[in-house]
Structure 1
Amino acid sequence: MDISPLEFQLDSDKIIFERLQKEFEAARASQTEEIYLDGEQWNDGLLATIREQVHMEADRKAMSGDADISAGPQEKITYKTGNKVICCLEGARIGIQYETSFAGEHCEFYHCVLESKSFLQRMTVLEHTVPFFLPIRETENDLLSSNAMKFIDHVGDLLQAYVDRREQVRLIKELYGNQIGELYHSLPYHMIDKVTVSLRYTDLISVLPTRITVLAWPMPKKNSTVTLNRMEDGISGNHPTPVRLPYAEEALRTMSLPEGENYVC
């Protein structure tokens, strides 16, 4: 049986996710301390300390040899800030686990693993479980070498905003599915369309749309006929003209989809 490239990619992504999830669970199970960071405690200085720790641990194991790896208790600290857990992984790697949520309920974990050949060299993304349609490689090129902390935070913002948009669409289908009919969206849910509503989001970290159009078509009268008029450039019909609903557009500009939909349906 032939396997499509997409199916192969999905299988590969699943394998990577399961392996990284187990590795993160093992890292947290073996931790000696978990530190919760608040506000300014999460900063470039702390990230530099974490980088130094992973390289020192890798050097210690390389110098002591396999027989003495477990000699003496070693401090293993993980850090939690916002929706991120930052772990020191084997092989001089830094792992970031992102926990997404919607309306206070857990959704999914995502992972990003960073590495560098030495403490002085730039970090790169070794592997990740971020959905392929989110621009993690572009974000890596733009931010990781110049501001690693901003890169880590921005990836978290991308993931959480994507989950927020996706779950809003899921909820609106549950609540108003019989009224809205078909609902179309792009993979990252940053373009959403239905018959009378068009939403566009500025970027992939936006939760509320910035370009909104809500149109309502008058119901056609029974037994009405459409008069066709021949014109120089073809045939045109006397079709009903849609009417914009500015109050609904304003509601969708300031409310999440399930709330704003009350002004549309």
Structure 2
Amino acid sequence: MTMGREETAETGEREPKRRSQQLEQLRRRPYALTGEVNFIQEEDTRLETTRARLASVLRRHEVLKERLSRDSDKMIFERLQKEFEAARAAKTEEISLDGEQWNEGLLATIRERVHMEADRKAMSSQTSIPPDTHFHAKTTYRIKNKVICCLDGARIGIQYETSFAGEPCEIYHCVLESKSFLEKMTVIEHTVPFFLPIREAENDLLSSSAIKFIDHVGELLQSYVDRREQVRLIKELYGNQIGELFHSLAYNLIEFVLEDFDCKVTVSLRYADLVSVLPSRIRVLAWPVHPSKKFLVGDRKGSGGVLAQSIPSRLSYAEDALRTMSLPEAYAEIVLNLPRVLQQMFPHLGGA
């Protein structure tokens, strides 16, 4: 009798536990049968990872921007700017060049001239040689957004004048020097932003083609300013529509978020190289993230379809616009058509 009572008690204790396990299995069973995946949680995880990564980029941006604005950097810019202004003010003529005139032969002539002038000044300081008016003629050269100046000390200065939408932006400098006319030139000073690879360009191009190096640095600077100003303009025009916006220092990685119709639209842009002004890798996704919004997918003619969490969809029209237009133009195109496209893609969100 005692054994019977103990077995009954043990059975009574196991019964609630068994029922709890059965309820838990029943609660989970629909998810297992339908294969439903919680895409919202996956999206949140990915977005949090992206936010953390880009937050780190922003912190680095602030640190590096502080380095860029240190007094020593400002002093270099101000000193070079004054030197370039003095050289241009002292010029006897400025020659505008077209594409064919800007060549290695002309640059060799400029190099020869600055070395002869340096030698003449060195000799005149030791003897009483009368000045030669031929050497006092100072010529500067303009090719597109570049001004080439002959500077003292056998140096050649390049001033880059960037612009956006026809309006002038920053001025940058690069100073080249060589010990003799026959030796290769090196970059001795510059005011190019430190996150643009001028030293890599020097190693790859300057020894083989100074013209290609000078032109490439100009493209780097103008493309950087173009990308930066495009981002500045969309923030200025559409800042109230943009929830989050991140970018790298060189603006070759840009990501921002829009929210509309219970959808979060994420835009991710990658640029193939630093001389690109249009992105090469584009992804625009619409996320129906409202927790109360779900829709049916699968065979509706069958047993009622499958209930699934909303999943992201690519906005191909937006990606096409970003591939062929500047960022402000593409943005306007995207926003203009966004309500209609989202309504077509997610009809169950209509009227939200």
Question: What TM-score, normalized by structure 2, do the two folds share?
Answer: 0.68
- In the alignment, structure 1 residue 192 sits paired with structure 2 residue 262: no
- In the alignment, structure 1 residue 34 sits paired with structure 2 residue 104: no
| Alignment partners' CA distance in 1, 2:329 and 2:69 | 33
Q: Tell me the equivalent position of 1:60.
A: 120
Name which of structure 1's ranges 193-202 and 211-220 shifts more when overlaid on structure 2: 211-220
Q: Tell me the equivalent position of 1:154.
A: 216
Tell me the alpha carbon deviations over residues 181-239 of structure 1, each in whole angstroms, 9 at most, x when there is no partner: 221000000000012100000000000001000111125265x69xxxxxxxxxxxx64
Aligned with 1:54: secondary structure?
Answer: helix
Q: Tell me the equivalent position of 2:282.
A: 212
| Alignment partners' CA distance in 1, 2:130 and 2:310 | 78
| Alignment partners' CA distance in 2, 1:69 and 1:36 | 33
Q: Tell me the equivalent position of 1:262.
A: 332
| Alignment partners' CA distance in 2, 1:160 and 1:255 | 17
From the two aligned structures, give the one with the greater helix fraction. 2
Q: CA RMSD in A?
A: 2.1
- In the alignment, structure 1 residue 133 sits paired with structure 2 residue 195: yes
- 1:48-87 → structure 2 map (5 Å cutoff): 48-65=108-125, 71-73=131-133, 74-87=136-149
Q: Which amino acid aligns with 2:84?
A: F
Select the residue among 5, 10, 14 that pairs with 2:69: 10
Name the larger-Rg structure. 2
Select the residue among 91, 114, 120 that pairs with 2:153: 91
Q: Tell me the equivalent position of 1:234.
A: none
| Alignment partners' CA distance in 2, 1:260 and 1:69 | 65
Distance 1:14 1:70, change over 3 A: farther
Q: Which amino acid aligns with 1:60?
A: R
Aligned with 1:63: secondary structure?
Answer: helix
| Alignment partners' CA distance in 2, 1:21 and 1:56 | 24
- In the alignment, structure 1 residue 102 sits paired with structure 2 residue 164: yes
| Alignment partners' CA distance in 1, 2:130 and 2:328 | 54
- 1:158-197 → structure 2 map (5 Å cutoff): 158-195=220-257, 196-197=266-267
Tell me the alpha carbon deviations over residues 103-159 of structure 1, each in whole angstroms, 9 at most, x when there is no partner: 000001000000000000000000000000000000000000000000000000000
| Alignment partners' CA distance in 2, 1:133 and 1:70 | 47
User: Once the two structures are aligned, what percentage of the paired residues are identical?
Assistant: 73
8 Å contact from structure 1 (residues 220, 240) kept in 2: no
Please report how far the alpha carbon of residue 262 of structure 1 lies from its aligned counterpart in structure 2 after TM superposition: 1.7
Q: Which amino acid aligns with 2:69?
A: L
| Alignment partners' CA distance in 2, 1:32 and 1:67 | 26
Structure 2 unaligned regions, length at least 5: 1-62, 258-265, 295-307, 336-352
| Alignment partners' CA distance in 2, 1:6 and 1:221 | 40
Question: What TM-score, normalized by structure 1, do the two folds share?
Answer: 0.89
| Alignment partners' CA distance in 1, 2:225 and 2:209 | 25
Aligned with 1:168: secondary structure?
Answer: helix
8 Å contact from structure 1 (residues 166, 189) kept in 2: yes
Structure 1 unaligned regions, length at least 5: 226-237
Q: Which amino acid aligns with 1:39?
A: G
| Alignment partners' CA distance in 1, 2:86 and 2:127 | 21
8 Å contact from structure 1 (residues 213, 249) kept in 2: yes
